[in-house]
Amino acid sequence: MKDHEKRFDESIKTVKRQATELSNAGRKFGSGIKHAWGTIDKVTSEQGLRLTQLIEDTIQELVKKHTKSTYQEAETFHEESVAASNKIILAVRRYVPKIHRTLKSEISTLNSSLLKLEESINSLGKSLDQSPGSKLNPLDREITLITQAHELLKKIRSQKEQTNKQIENATNEEKTLIQQKESLLTHPKFQELNLTQTQATARRKEMDQLTQPLIKPLLKLERAMTNQETPLVDDTVLRNFIDDPVQSILTILPSTNLKVLRALEIELNQGSLDIDERKRKRTEDTVTEVAESIEPFRATILQLQEATKRTEQELHMSGLHAKLSHLDALLDNKRAELQTLRTEQNDNDRKIDELTRTIAKHKSSIESQILGLSKEQVSIDVT
C-alpha cells in the first residue's frame, strides 16, 4: 500500500470511528429524551426522538460503506461523509434549540461528537488534497468525459449514416411513385378531365377579370342605396355580387344579376355615383359586356361541369380513379416519412456539432493539464 493510500485508509477508519461515537452520543441523547418524559412537552419529545433516529440511520449507512484506499474511492467516501455530516448538522440546528435544558449534558456530548466527526472528515479532505491524485483526478475526469463524448459521437455518426440510407431509399421510392402517377395521368381520360377543368378555370378567370372594373362603382352604389327609401336592388344580392361576381353569376338567376347591372347603369346615367365622364363611359361599356356574357358564360361552365362529371364517372367505373387515389395516399405517406427522416437528420447534425465542440474543449484541457504535469507538449488525436 502506498503512503498516500495508508493515509487514506487511516483517515477513513478515523471518520468511521468518530461516526460510531456520534451514533453512541445520539443514542444517549435519545435515552435522555425518553427519561425526561413528563418534564418536556410531547412535541419537543417527538422532535428529539426524530433527531435521534435520523442520526442513527445516517451514521449506520456511512459506517457500513465498504471503501478501498484508492484515491477515487477515498474521494467518494469523503463526499458521502460531508453529505451525512451536513444532514445531521441541519437536523441538530433545527431541533436542538427546542429541546429542554434538562438535556444540556446530552446535547453537549452530541455537539462534541459531531465536532470530532467534522474534524476527521476535514482530515480526510486534507489527505486527498495533498495526494498526487488531487492533480490527476481532474485529468482523469476529463479523459472519462472525452471518452464518453467520443463514443456518443461515433454512435450518432453511425445513426446519421443509417438515416442517410433511409432518406436515399425513401427518395427513390418517392420518385418511383411520382413516375407511376405521371404515367397514369397520361391516360386519355385523365387528359380529358384535365382539359375540361383547365378550360373551366380559364373561363372563370376571364369572367372575374371582366367584372373587376365594376367592383368600385358597385361599392359606391351600395353606399348610395343606404339613403334610398326604395333601393333599386336587394342589398344582399348586391353584396354577393361585390364579394364574388363569378360565384354570383353561376348560382343566382341571370335576371337577378341583370338587376344589379341595371341598377348600376341607372345610377351612372343619373351621375349620382361621383364618377368622372371617362370612367363612367368605360364602366357603362363593361356593364354591357358583362350583361351580354352572363348567359354564354353560364352555358359554357355548365357544359364543362357536365363533361367533368361524365369523365369522373368513367374514371371511377374503370378503377383508374381508385388507382390514382391509392398513389396519392402512398405519396403522402412517403413524404411524411421523408419529413420525419430529415428532421431526425437535422437533429443528428446538431448533436454532432455539439459533441465535436465538447470533444475539442476536453482535448484542449487534457493537453494543457498534461503540459502542466509533465512539462511536455502533447497532441491528442480524437478522430
**Most confident of the ranges 142-151, 237-246, 272-281:** 237-246
Distance between CA 75 and CA 8 in Å, rounded? 9
Report if residue 229 sits inside a domain: yes
Report if residue 365 sits inside a domain: no
Identify which of 168, 217, 193, 205 has the alpha carbon closest to the alpha carbon of residue 338. Answer: 168
Domain boundary among 295, 312, 329: 312
pTM (two decimals): 0.52
DSSP one-letter string for 142-166: HHHHHHHHHHHHHHHHHHHHHHHHH
User: pLDDT of 129-162, one tens digit each?
Assistant: 555 554 555 666 777 788 888 899 999 999 999 9
CATH label of the domain that carries residue 64:
1.20.120
Q: What angle do CA 335, 336, 338 make, to 5 degrees?
A: 60
Q: Quick check: 1 pLDDT over 60?
A: no
Q: What angle do CA 103, 107, 109 make, to 5 degrees?
A: 120
pLDDT of the residue at 329: 96
Confidence of residue 66 (pLDDT cuts 50, 70, 90): confident
- Out of 47-51, 115-119, 329-333, 353-357, pick the least confident: 115-119
Report if residue 252 sits inside a domain: yes
Contact criterion met (CB below 8 Å) for 210 and 289: yes
Contact criterion met (CB below 8 Å) for 221 and 238: yes
Distance between CA 304 and CA 290 in Å, rounded? 20
Report if residue 301 sits inside a domain: yes
What average pLDDT does this structure show over 149-176?
A: 94
Q: Quick check: 240 pLDDT over 70?
A: yes
Q: Quick check: 344 pLDDT over 90?
A: yes
Report if residue 124 sits inside a domain: yes
Report if residue 337 sits inside a domain: no
Q: Quick check: 123 pLDDT over 80?
A: no
- Out of 97-106, 124-133, 157-166, 338-347, pick the least confident: 124-133
Contact criterion met (CB below 8 Å) for 274 and 220: yes
Q: How many domains is the chain built from?
A: 2
Pair (237, 120) in one structural domain: no
Which residue range forms the structural domain that includes residue 69?
3-131
Pair (7, 108) in one structural domain: yes
Report if residue 162 sits inside a domain: no
For residue 319, give Cα distances in angstroms to 201, 313, 330: 26, 10, 17
The DSSP code for 226 is T
Task: Tell me the pLDDT of the chain averaged across its residues.
Answer: 83
Q: Which residues pair with 37 in a beta bridge?
A: 40
Pair (88, 199) in one structural domain: no
